[in-house]
Amino acid sequence: MLGCSDSRVAPGTICGLPPGSLFVHRNIANLVNNVDVAAMSVIQYAVGILQVQHIVVCGHYDCGGINAAVRNDDHPSPLANWLRNIRDVYRMHREELSSIQDQEVRARRLVEINVIEQAINLYKTRIVQQRRIETYQNLEEHGFVQPKIHPCVYDPATGKLVRLDARA
């Protein structure tokens, strides 16, 4: 699972799984950034060594990282550099997001869009592409192309986990 650092979003709890059931990497706003050595190492180990079959990219509503990026607060580096990734997601979807008048609804939509963009970033990593090609070439053994990536958003207010649509 790739999730947010926010303590309200405990991966095992929101998935209803006991300790030790998930391999987890967390960072601010659940970003998949190819220059993040920690994230890329976790992904490489999970996909290449553990050969996980499913990866959940889980964001959450009322995300502080998303809110900080949207407010355009002046943060010193390295946080400013990190938030730039979220601002890029906003910029790529500016037309849709700008058409949403209610700021809370807009922020919730940005959380969803960010999760989808991070799932796409995960699909684009070398190790995920390589593993998907390997499993595609041997579907009889694996049953399906692996790993499958599941973009989700957790709502801390309701406790609900919602799966988003992002196909690749």
Distances (CA, A) of 115 to 69, 103, 109, 130: 15, 18, 10, 22
What's the number of domains the chain is made of? Answer: 1
With respect to residue 11, please indicate whether it lies within any of the assigned structural domains.
Answer: yes
Domain that holds residue 158: 2-62+110-163
pLDDT of residue 51: 95
With respect to residue 76, please indicate whether it lies within any of the assigned structural domains.
Answer: no
- Out of 60, 108, 131, 132, the active site residue is 60
- Out of 15, 25, 26, 63, the active site residue is 63
The structure's pTM equals: 0.92
Tens of pLDDT, residue by residue over 38-70, are: 999 999 999 999 999 999 999 999 999 999 888
Domain at 115, CATH number:
3.40.1050.10
pLDDT of residue 168: 46
With respect to residue 105, please indicate whether it lies within any of the assigned structural domains.
Answer: no
Would residue 8 show up in a list of annotated catalytic residues for this protein? yes
With respect to residue 132, please indicate whether it lies within any of the assigned structural domains.
Answer: yes
With respect to residue 127, please indicate whether it lies within any of the assigned structural domains.
Answer: yes
With respect to residue 33, please indicate whether it lies within any of the assigned structural domains.
Answer: yes
Would residue 60 show up in a list of annotated catalytic residues for this protein? yes
Would residue 75 show up in a list of annotated catalytic residues for this protein? no
Would residue 4 show up in a list of annotated catalytic residues for this protein? yes
- Out of 8, 106, 109, 150, the active site residue is 8
